[in-house]
Amino acid sequence: MAVDCWTVVVSLVVGALLAAWQWWRHYSTRFARLGLPYEPPVPLLGNLMGAALGSRSQHDIVVDLYNKFKPHPYGGAYLFAASLVMIRDPEIIRTVTIKDFDYFTDHADFFDSERSCPIQNRMLFLLRGKEWHYMRTTLSPAFTSMKMKNMFMLITEIAQQMVDYLKKETAAYKVSTNKDDVLTLEVKDFFTRISNDMIATSAFGVKVDSLSDPENMFYRMGKDLTNISMTASLGYIVFPRLMRLLGIPLFSPKAIEYFKSMVSETIETREKQGIVRPDMLHLLMQARRGELTSEEGEEDGNTKGSGRHLTDLDMAAQAMIFFFAGFETVSSVLTFCSYLLAAHEDVQRRLQQEVDDVMKKSGGQPSYEQVIGCQYLDMVISETLRMYTPLSAMDRVCVRPYRLPATDTCPAVDLRPGDIIWLPVRAIHFDPKYYTEPKRFDPERFSPENKHLIKPYTYFPFGSGPRICIGQRFAMMEMKVLLLYFLSRFSFQMVSKTPVPLELSPGNVFVAIKGGSWLGIRPRS
């Protein structure tokens, strides 16, 4: 009997190994069968072994893959357990994101969100098909110019709060050191805290000060929500069922419950007491009642007659997505912009001249139109976004059978529903074919005289087509306000702790500086 049991066990193990081998052969040779150039994958880790082991930045790996596939318009890549077709040609990127958008309406869900985190599954970014279209149509009027203008006051209050904090800290530092008033800060943490406060006031209607009160509950819960470990991420990408079976959450259940409760309680209080505040939660409440419409001349949607009731979970999910945008994307761009300004003092001086002119004309209280109209500020941020786009690549999922066209160097590629395409944003932004000396920081690329020379669909830090980031206008407003207020009173400068040369940190999904983002903050005389 024992021999028979061992025979069964050995047979099952051998059968499982053979099945795994057959799957691996089919998976790893997919692009060879298609006739596409590709990088052979490592089991489970695909082409991202360096990123998974913390030895290389994912952002650098994407650029290397892109360069290896020259001159082909397509290449095969492996993102852990998923195979993707990387599209290198800007014209084909235009086609799949705009002209043939109906074939690529969805984003990939690498974390199996529907089962791992229901609230994440309700976020606009991961909604699919008709559900996405409904929610996008519902929310778009919340991001028009007029709505941004209404929230502008909330953002300027946080910017002034930042200035007041730095004035106090630099003065105290000068007294304590009896030397100078150049305060050394880890600016990623600094801008993350300010972004947190902007999200709190503009999305949740809560006033906090995470610089003066670094351990406030809102900030701690926000950090818990966005602090996703690499181990948990890999686990949900490769073994989602096992992670759920073991009860290992992708997001902090305590943080999720905190923000869900906050949204529900705030909505209930406002409805009972008739409270109106010009923030995102008020706009979501208007959307639920079908009262949110676009301003005349702005074709951003209309919620009347959209046909589906927004639940509290829907509203909490859309408010919470601000954390993933604000904690990482906005704070990351501001961090790299600060570093670049410190390293290029001539650019910083010219930008401060523009800032000083605006502050003088406005009496120190610039309007929304004056801030948005800062031309050189826009050029500086645009060039920062080109060089340090927060995410190295964007994806789309094929939802209907589609054929990528044959070219001189590649055969036609037949895509099936569920196949993923990869748009290597950072790599295209660094291609010398499109940008002369791409590693050089040069805001003049985006001057009124030069920006029309940029080849279409070679600059898309916020994405492209109908699924372009819905919050790009809000993000740009945040960054412009904060930089304008900061540079009116302070300057960035390099200090002994500043990492030189700048290298990208391995193991980060979002772009980050290796060695920490240390800069000096110097009051202007």
Looking at residue 431, what is its pLDDT?
97
- 279/117: higher pLDDT: 279
What is the maximal distance between C-alpha atoms in the chain? 93
Q: Which of 168-182, 384-398, 489-503 has the lowest mean pLDDT?
A: 168-182
Looking at residue 296, what is its pLDDT?
45
pLDDT exceeds 50 at position 299: no
pLDDT exceeds 70 at position 302: no
| Helix and strand numbers, DSSP H then E, in the chain | 22, 9
Looking at residue 495, what is its pLDDT?
95
Across the chain, mean pLDDT equals 87
For residue 387, what pLDDT band results from cuts at 50, 70 and 90? very high
For the chain, give the percent of residues with pLDDT over 90.
52
If you search the block for the tokens 């002994």, which residue do you land on? 496
- Which residues on adjacent β-strands are paired with residue 38? 76
pLDDT exceeds 60 at position 493: yes
What SS3 class is residue 504?
A: strand
Interatomic CA distance for residues 211 and 194, integer angstroms: 7
**Torsion angles phi and psi, residue 46, rounded to 5:** 60, -130
Nearest to 164, CA basis, from 196, 194, 205, 192: 194
Looking at residue 126, what is its pLDDT?
82
Looking at residue 192, what is its pLDDT?
92
Looking at residue 111, what is its pLDDT?
64
Q: Which of 177-181, 251-255, 511-515 has the lowest mean pLDDT?
A: 177-181
Interatomic CA distance for residues 453 and 456, integer angstroms: 9
pLDDT exceeds 90 at position 423: yes
pLDDT exceeds 60 at position 307: no
pLDDT exceeds 90 at position 88: yes
For residue 194, what pLDDT band results from cuts at 50, 70 and 90? very high
Looking at residue 114, what is its pLDDT?
59
Looking at residue 305, what is its pLDDT?
43
Q: Which of 59-68, 201-210, 322-331 has the lowest mean pLDDT?
A: 322-331
Q: By the 8 A CB rule, do 503 and 514 touch?
A: yes
pLDDT exceeds 60 at position 308: no
C-alpha dihedral (462, 398, 233, 314), degrees to nearest 10: 70
pLDDT exceeds 90 at position 154: yes
What SS3 class is residue 74?
A: strand
- Tell me whether residue 337 is annotated as binding: no
pLDDT exceeds 90 at position 464: yes
For residue 155, what pLDDT band results from cuts at 50, 70 and 90? very high
Residues 6+ apart with CB under 8 A from 261: none
Q: What is the mean pLDDT of residues 115-129?
A: 78
Q: Is 381 exposed, middle or buried (0-12, 13-18, 19+ CB in 10 A)?
A: buried
Looking at residue 230, what is its pLDDT?
62
Nearest to 314, CA basis, from 131, 122, 453, 464: 122
Q: What is the mean pLDDT of residues 402-427?
A: 93
- 158/302: higher pLDDT: 158
Looking at residue 27, what is its pLDDT?
82
pLDDT exceeds 60 at position 444: yes
pLDDT exceeds 50 at position 123: yes
Q: How far is CA 58 from the centre of its chain?
A: 15
For residue 451, what pLDDT band results from cuts at 50, 70 and 90? very high
pLDDT exceeds 50 at position 73: yes
For residue 1, what pLDDT band results from cuts at 50, 70 and 90? low
Q: How many CA atoms lie within 13 A of 163 on its CB side?
A: 19
Hey, how many other C-beta atoms are within 10 angstroms of the C-beta on 9?
10
Q: Map out the domains of the chain as residue ranges.
A: 1-33, 35-523
Looking at residue 141, what is its pLDDT?
86
Q: By the 8 A CB rule, do 196 and 222 touch?
A: yes
Terminal Cα distance for the chain, rounded: 90
% helix, strand, coil for the chain, step of 5 = 55, 10, 35
Reported as a single tens digit per residue, the pLDDT across 223-232 is 887 776 666 6
Interatomic CA distance for residues 277 and 285, integer angstroms: 11
Reported as a single tens digit per residue, the pLDDT across 10-62 is 777 777 778 777 877 878 888 989 889 999 998 878 888 887 777 888 899 99
Q: What is the mean pLDDT of residues 90-96?
A: 96
For residue 303, what pLDDT band results from cuts at 50, 70 and 90? very low
CATH classification of 35-523, choosing from 3.40.50.720, 1.10.630.10, 1.10.760.10, 3.30.420.480?
A: 1.10.630.10
Residues 6+ apart with CB under 8 A from 363: none
Looking at residue 397, what is its pLDDT?
95
Reported as a single tens digit per residue, the pLDDT across 508-525 is 778 889 999 999 999 997
Looking at residue 243, what is its pLDDT?
73
Interatomic CA distance for residues 194 and 200, integer angstroms: 10
